[in-house]
Structure 1
Amino acid sequence: MTSLHARVKETFNYLHQNAEISWGEQETTDYIKSLLKEQGCDTTTFNDTTGIIGKFGTFDGNRPVVAIRADMDALWQNVRGTFQANHSCGHDAHMAMVLGLLWKIAADPLLKDQIALKFIFQPAEEVAGGALKMVEKGVVEDVDYLFGVHLRPIEETAMNHASPVIVHGANTAYTVEINGTDGHAARPHLTTNAIEVVYEIMAHLSSIHLNPRVPHSVKITSMTAGGKNTNIIPGAAKFTIDMRTQDNPTMDDLTDKVRGIFKAIADLHETDISITDIEHVPAAELNEEAIRIMEEAISSVLGGDQVDSPLITTGGDDFHFYTIKRPELKATMLGLGCDLHPGLHHPDMTFNHDALINGVNILYEAIRKTYKI
């Protein structure tokens, strides 16, 4: 094992053991800042959010700016009976690989005058807000190419394989409240039963029909209504809806139909149905040049027969807000095979840590090929 590989693994272990949830990644920010400073990066932090930007190379306008994004936040989940921050989506690995990329580049002093790299350590990917915050801060205004990386489950790609692009789908989640008045269980005609309203909404959701060639789904994922007394009809309820589509136009169609159902049932029952919170992640917008660069990088590191086809998944990632908000950005996300099981977001997710150096080397080659070095 090389010293670089060992350092990347050691960094991964530290980040894994010191996980922090969305918008709370302060110690992670401080830790990464210290490592960026060690390599001579110019760093930028923010007074109203976690996250950090590191700049390495020569920013004189004579060469394209390439950014590498790593997400920082962990999930809050039940791990063997205890709720805790847990890196079950691989963000600890993503940060370790991107830092490994910096160390590998910094080891070649001749590269510094040929490149202009931005390292974007982004908070709050899991709540779909961090990328938008970074866009708001202007961190990609001068960026020409943007590369990301994500561990992939074993069902999608094998160890020592990788895909040059992850074709994420769109994801929208609504938190919805029904605001009515409770009633006596003996007099159901005097109120509207919020549980029945939710049931009707659920039934209508199953009757939505969109283009069957585009994967899509809509379902209720949580619901609360009523209290301790069994003789009260609840007039209020709160529930969440998760909507997924493979592309952005289909998501627009689906949200229109779901909102139409809310309005029709609210009118029918003369009750108030309000969307109180929206989380949205757009589907991937693809760039052929960025994908080609990443494909060539994978082939250089792992071999041409280890390059997988585009990975199509209805899972989402807020990485794609960067290209939605700045369409001229040439971006792609590396899908890294790593023997990951049982699956992403599983509390006991694990993977082959030897894949970390594959990610470092592929990203390094992507940088070299972008600059034609």
Structure 2
Amino acid sequence: MANYPSIQQIYTHLHAHPETSWHEEKTTKYIETLLAETSFNIHRFDDCTGLVAELGHGKPCVAIRADMDALWQEVDGEFTANHSCGHDAHMSIVLHALFALEERKADWKGTLRVIFQPAEETIEGAIAMVEKGVVDDVDYLFGLHLRPIQELRSGEFAPAIQHGAVRFLEGRIEGEDAHGARPHLNKNAIELGAELVQLLNNIHVDPMVPHSAKVTSFHSGGKSTNIIPGRATFSIDVRAEDNEIMDELTDKIKSACHALSNLHGTGVQVDEKAQVPAAVISEEAAGYLEQGILKVRGEDALKRAIQTTGGDDFHFYTIRKPELKASMLAVGCDLKPGLHHPHMTFDQSVMADASRVLVETLLDVLKE
């Protein structure tokens, strides 16, 4: 692969040019420029970022998905786009795997498709890709994700990630402002927010099923410190390992908001903004990844499937297309302090082995 940039060069470029969901224009163009030097056929979309590249023809049709977007978060006191979830690494690993698979085209038959997907962080991109028909004829779909140090150590891999269900709720408190000297004339929206946090902490469901519900944003008041704010907006992040517990949690959160509204006579509304169901993993697809791990790293590196309350819109592919056989490669890389931390770091040397695992996995499927 002498004519192509190294995996480290690709990563360095992508990490230095993060773009948020649905704004991955430069990222899309960069990937297109790299793939233009290959034999892959490239398809861009008229109405959104992202692209699909394809090599070969016929069955089986095997696809890889790489998410593209960065987060918008505060880094050292300034809000900016930031690749703190590893999507820059995912793209780099997949691109390098594609270069290798092109060089070994004589070793496989069928169709290899890669989906560079926008807007994973807003849980919208996978659905958009499904609706564009990019997996209509796909038999196997593989994804990947860097894992935090608490789950896997550097050089360890797992053939599946059992993500939990995720829901993002958005709410609002609808009251009126009052003078700071007359707190009896309104309900302080900030105090209602504090009560809401306590109510969420008092929700109990089956403790044997990992779950969480927490307020992740709250906005109320302005620059005038002598005004008691009556209005606020807030967001709640809800996670659970299975879909039944997710439904139970969501119902209890809505009941808590309703009770808070009745208690204070102030409107407290909450609506679902987005959701991701729990993962549906194909044992067959996970088996191919397991064999790829064994070929590249051996038995010591192979670990059992990862269970996490984190979510990923990758699973919408199988929810919308149940016959699709899919699994995600879990990549151990000593990632710390954690995913979405503004200063997340990981062992970048692992990317080369992760790429080789994907290559061996796809070769096995495409040789069948």
TM category (shorter chain) comes to: over 0.9
SS at match of 2:273: strand
Alignment of 1:197-276 (within 5 A): 197-275=192-270
Aligned to 1:42: 41
What is the TM-score of this pair, normalised by structure 2? 0.93
Instruction: State the Cα distance separating 1:212 from its structure 2 match.
Output: 1.0
Give per-residue Cα distances to partners, 1:56-96, cap 9 Å, x unaligned. 1113xxx2211100011112233334433222211111111
TM score, norm. by length of structure 1: 0.92
**Contact between 2:159 and 2:329, CA under 8 Å: does it hold in 1?**
yes
CA–CA distance in 1 between the matches of 2:214 and 2:246?
A: 14
2:167/2:272 contact within 8 Å kept: no
The 1:155–1:202 alpha-carbon spacing in structure 2 relative to 1, beyond 3 Å, is closer
Q: Which residue number in structure 1 is paired with residue 81 of structure 2?
A: 85
Matched, 1:107 2:111: no
How many residues of Structure 1 are paired with residues of Structure 2 in the alignment? 368
Query: 79-88 or 318-327: which moved more?
Result: 79-88
1:159 corresponding residue in structure 2: 154
Give the letter for the 1:79 counterpart. V
> How far apart, CA to CA, are the structure 2 residues paired with 1:228 and 1:219?
26
Q: Which amino acid aligns with 1:250?
A: I
Is residue 146–residue 333 contact of structure 2 (8 Å, CA) maintained in 1? yes
**Greater mean alpha carbon deviation, residues 224-233 or residues 167-176:** 224-233
Displacement of 1:185: 4.3
Kept in 2: contact 1:5–1:357 (CA 8 A): no
Superposed CA offset, 1:199-255 (max 9, x none): 332232222111111011112222222334444332211122121111222111111
Residue 140 in structure 1 maps to residue 135 in structure 2: yes
- Aligned position for 1:121: 116
- 1:85-144 Cα offsets, whole Å, 9 max, x none, are 2222111111111111111111123146x0211100001111211111111211111111
Contact in 1 for aligned 2:62/2:366 (Cα 8 Å): no
**Residue 208 of structure 1 contacts residue 257 of structure 1 at CA under 8 Å; is this kept in 2?**
yes
Question: What amino acid sits opposite 1:340 in the alignment?
Answer: L
Moved more, 246-255 or 192-201: 192-201
CA contact (8 A) 2:258 2:269 kept: no
Offset, 1:163: 0.5
- CA distance in 2 between counterparts of 1:50 and 1:276 reads 28
Are residues 212 and 4 of structure 1, via their aligned partners in 2, closer, same or farther at CA, if it must alter by over 3 Å?
farther
Query: In structure 2, how many angstroms separate the alpha carbons of the residues matched to 1:67 and 1:86?
Result: 27
How far, CA to CA, are the matches of 2:218 and 2:78 in structure 1?
23
Cα distance 1:84–1:227, how it changes in 2: closer, same or farther (>3 A)? Answer: closer
RMSD, aligned α-carbons: 2.1
Q: Counterpart in 2 of 1:18?
A: 17
Q: Which amino acid in structure 1 is aligned with residue 55 of structure 2?
A: F
Q: Structure 2 unaligned runs (5+)? A: none
Contact 2:39 2:102 in 1 (8 A): no
Q: Give the Cα–Cα distance (whole angstroms) in 2 for the partners of residues 5 and 255 of structure 1.
A: 48
Name the CA shift for 1:270/1:78 in 2 (closer, same or farther; >3 Å).
Answer: closer
State whether residues 4 and 100 of structure 1, in contact with CA within 8 Å, keep that contact through their aligned partners in structure 2. Answer: no
Name the structure 2 match of 1:349. Answer: 344
- My pick for the range that moved more, 268-277 or 164-173, is 268-277
More displaced stretch, 71-80 vs 222-231: 222-231
Matched, 1:171 2:166: yes
Q: Distance in 2 between matches of 1:354 and 1:5?
A: 18
Per-residue deviation at 1:6?
6.4
- Say which SS state the counterpart of residue 208 (structure 2) adopts: coil
Residues 81/228 of structure 1: CA separation in 2 closer, same or farther (3 Å cut) = closer
Opposite residue 327 of structure 2, the aligned amino acid is T
